[in-house]
Every structure is written in C-alpha cells, then in structure tokens.
C-alpha cells in the first residue's frame, strides 16, 4: 500500500459486479458465488454486503447474513483479490464485518472454511475465532468444512475509569453443585478478601449454604445460606428474594425433604435478621440491578439455564457489569456454554432481554439475588482471627 493510497469501505452495488466476479473466480475453486447471486444480494439488500476500495479499485468484499430471531451472524463470504493479499485488507474486511454484526447486537459471528484453507484459518484464529466442529462433505467437491465462531460483544471499561478499574477475576466451579460458592469466591477475590485455600473454601461455603436437597444429586446453595456465608467473609449483603420464606421447594416432590429444606432456610433467615442483613421481598428489577452494578457492587443471581442449554437446573452466576444492551456475567460453570473458553466465560455478555428470561427459577420463577459490597470492617482474613 503506498503512503498516499486511499482505502475505503462502501456498500456493494451493481457497478462492482465485474470486479466481484473476478475476485470470486480467483479466490475459490468450488462453491463460488455467481454473478447472479451477487446481483441478488445487492438488489434485494440482503444482509451486509461491502466492498473495499483501494484507490478506487475493488480489492475485496464480505457478505454477512442474519437470521431473524437468532443472535448469530454468519460470515457468508470474504475474499481479497490475489494481487492485493498480505497487505492487511483481509483483516480490515473482517473487522468491518464484525462491527456490522455487533451493531445489530449479534452475539456470535460464525463461518465455515475449507479444512485445508490454512491461510484463511490463520487469519480467523488470529482474530479470536475458535474451532467449533467439522462438517463432513460440506462443499460441492465433497470436501469438509471447519466451523469457526467468535463471541462479538466485549465488555469495555467505562470512560473515566482510566484503567484503574479491575475486572472481576474468574474461577470455574470444581463440582456441579458449587456454582454459588464459586460465584462468592470470585466476588471475594474482587473485593480483595483473601482466602487461605480457595479450593477447600468452595466446599466449605457449600456446607454452610446448601439446601441439602434439590432436583437430583447434591443440593445446591440457597440464597439465605449464601448471604450468611458472604456476611461471614466480610461482605456487606442485601438479599433480594421474590418470596418471603424458604425458596426452591417446588423442585422437590418428597415432603420430608421439603421440610428439611424449609427448616434449614428458616434458620438462615432468622440468623440474617439477627445480624441486621436487609432481606428485600419483591421484584429485583433489571434497572435496580444496573444501578447496583454502577455503584461498584457485584450481584450473585440465581438463574435458570434453560434459555441457554434447555436444562432446568437452578444456577448461580456472578453479574459483574452491565451496559445498555448486555449484562456481563462470570459463569462458573464450564458446561453452560461448553464451546466457550474460560476467558470467554469471564464477562460473558448476555443480552438484557435474554437475561430477563433467565433470571428466576422454577414454575413460579422464584428470584434471588445477593447484592454484595465490601464491608468497611471486613476482617483482613477470617481464618487468622478465628
């Protein structure tokens, strides 16, 4: 690229058809987009179709398609003319395609590429795409496709935080019943409350906060028990629950088990009251949640993962931040979004509308959220002064 060359992106139009056809023929051996198809994408204004011009010459293009009612964008095609490759144009096109999809509030960009197209794969991997699966005999010549995907929205530190704000550290729960304790441990790490042995403490918090029974297997943690565990570890807690009294009993059929669950939660409620912990009964709204987060608090919330993975288990996650479109959660469970890396489960963006559906558990959509902040008189280390 010469110093003076001008590079700009513009919407594809009929005047670009000759160049597009040339780039397509030079770039792909099978599954080429025909001139007719290019024209249809242009005339019917389908998806986002942009060409990159360098000194007025078309040097590449991309097409992103969207499906209604999914938050998935599909990079249908992207190519750079052979004589203009390795000058950053491919990356420029990919960045622009992702911006388009992000503006439409898509969560993911997905694409297929031939398994032997290592050049394109190198570009996508470098841009943060991860391999999802191989689709056998996907192309016209029966070759296989590698499906790649990237999570698009990323949490941006608010303006004015001048880099001093720290992200909430991430940890994966080590058992399938310790999502609550793992969420609390992340909050503790953020508030600089030390833990002698976080591995042990995850189980210790569970012993303090478990409802004993639940749908199947070991019981998870209840909101009141978790609030007590947070208080004990030097956090100031406000507990928001949609129901006065014990929660999560609906998921258990056996009456004896219900009674045990109720007894333990009633004791927890009495202890919280004695300690002066506010228990707010009512609907904890998304606007309250956003206000709390903006005031530097963290929120451990009970969600149903049904909207994500169709499993009906109650699940605790740590909500770290929110903006106009997303709440960002640290999800301690690596099974909720199995295709995500640990880095992607930190500040995982959940569209606000999706969060509204996920927040709450069971037929009666019982809600529970612990709003946490560091208490002024937090012990430096609870183990040292025990």
Which one of residues 9, 78, 293, 368 is an interface residue with ligand COA (CB under 6 A)?
Answer: 78
By beta-carbon proximity to ligand COA, the closer residue of 142 and 310 is: 142
Least gap, CB of 68 to ligand COA (angstroms): 23
88 or 296: CB nearest ligand COA: 88
- Measured from the CB atom, is 91 or 174 closer to ligand COA? 91
Binding ligand COA by CB under 6 A: which of 64, 80, 302, 369? Answer: 80
Which of 92/228 has CB closer to ligand COA? 92
Q: Between 85 and 105, name the residue whose CB sits nearer to ligand COA.
A: 85
Stretch near ligand COA under the rule CB under 6 A, chosen from 78-86, 220-228, 270-278, 376-384: 78-86
Q: How far is the CB of 79 from ligand COA (least distance, A)?
A: 4
Question: With the CA atoms of 190, 194, 199 and 200 taken in that order, what torsion angle do they form, in degrees rounded to the nearest 10?
Answer: -140
Our CB check for ligand COA shows the closer of 113 and 318 to be 113
Contacts of 54 (CB under 8 A, 6+ apart): 1, 5, 6, 7, 84, 89
Least Cβ distance, residue 108 to ligand COA (angstroms): 16
83 binds ligand COA (CB under 6 A): no
CB closer to ligand COA, 88 vs 217: 88
Which residues ranging from 2 to 61 are in contact with ligand COA (CB under 6 A)? 27
Closest approach, Cβ 1 to ligand COA, in A, equals: 10
- Whole-angstrom distance, CA of residue 62 vs CA of residue 67: 17
Give me the residue whose beta carbon is nearest to ligand COA: 90
CB of 27 to ligand COA, least distance (A): 4
Binding residue for ligand COA (CB under 6 A) from 126, 166, 199, 312? 126
In the complex with ligand COA, which residue's Cβ is closer, 61 or 361? 61
Taking residues 86 to 125 in sequence order and writing x for each that binds ligand COA by CB under 6 A, - otherwise, the string is: xxxxxx-------------------x-x---x-xx-xx--
Residues that bind ligand COA (CB under 6 A): 27, 77-80, 85-91, 111, 113, 117, 119-120, 122-123, 126
């Amino acid at each position: 690229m010469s110093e003076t060359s001008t590079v700009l992106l513009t919407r594809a139009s009929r005047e670009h058809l000759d160049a597009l056809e040339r780039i397509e023929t030079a770039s792909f051996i099978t599954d080429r987009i025909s001139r007719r198809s290019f024209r249809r994408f242009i005339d019917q204004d389908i998806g986002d179709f942009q060409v990159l011009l360098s000194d007025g010459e078309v040097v590449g293009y991309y097409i992103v398609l969207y499906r209604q009612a999914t938050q998935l964008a599909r990079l249908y095609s992207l190519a750079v003319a052979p004589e203009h490759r390795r000058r950053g144009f491919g990356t420029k096109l990919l960045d622009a395609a992702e911006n388009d999809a992000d503006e439409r509030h898509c969560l993911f960009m997905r694409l297929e590429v031939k398994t032997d197209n290592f050049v394109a794969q190198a570009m996508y991997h470098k841009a943060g795409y991860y391999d999802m699966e191989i689709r056998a005999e996907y192309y016209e010549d029966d070759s296989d496709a590698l499906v790649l995907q990237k999570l698009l929205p990323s949490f941006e530190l608010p303006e004015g935080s001048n880099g001093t704000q720290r992200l909430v550290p991430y940890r994966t729960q080590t058992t399938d019943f310790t999502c609550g304790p793992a969420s609390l441990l992340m909050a503790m790490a953020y508030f600089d409350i030390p833990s002698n042995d976080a591995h042990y403490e995850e189980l210790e918090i569970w012993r303090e906060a478990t409802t004993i029974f639940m749908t199947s297997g070991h019981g998870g943690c209840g909101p009141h028990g978790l609030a007590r565990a947070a208080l004990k570890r030097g956090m100031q807690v406000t507990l928001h629950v949609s129901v006065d009294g014990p929660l999560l009993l609906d998921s258990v059929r056996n009456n004896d088990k219900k009674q045990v669950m109720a007894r333990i939660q009633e004791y927890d409620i009495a202890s919280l009251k004695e300690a002066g912990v506010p228990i707010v009964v009512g609907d904890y709204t998304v606007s309250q949640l956003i206000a709390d987060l903006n005031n530097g608090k963290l929120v451990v919330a009970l969600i149903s993962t049904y909207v994500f993975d169709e499993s009906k288990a109650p699940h605790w996650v740590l909500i770290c931040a929110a903006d106009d479109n997303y709440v960002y959660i640290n999800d301690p469970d690596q099974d909720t979004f199995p295709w995500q890396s640990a880095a992607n489960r930190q500040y995982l963006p959940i569209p606000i509308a999706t969060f509204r559906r996920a927040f709450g558990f069971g037929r009666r959509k019982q809600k529970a959220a612990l709003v946490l902040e560091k208490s002024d008189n937090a012990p430096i280390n609870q183990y040292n002064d025990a």
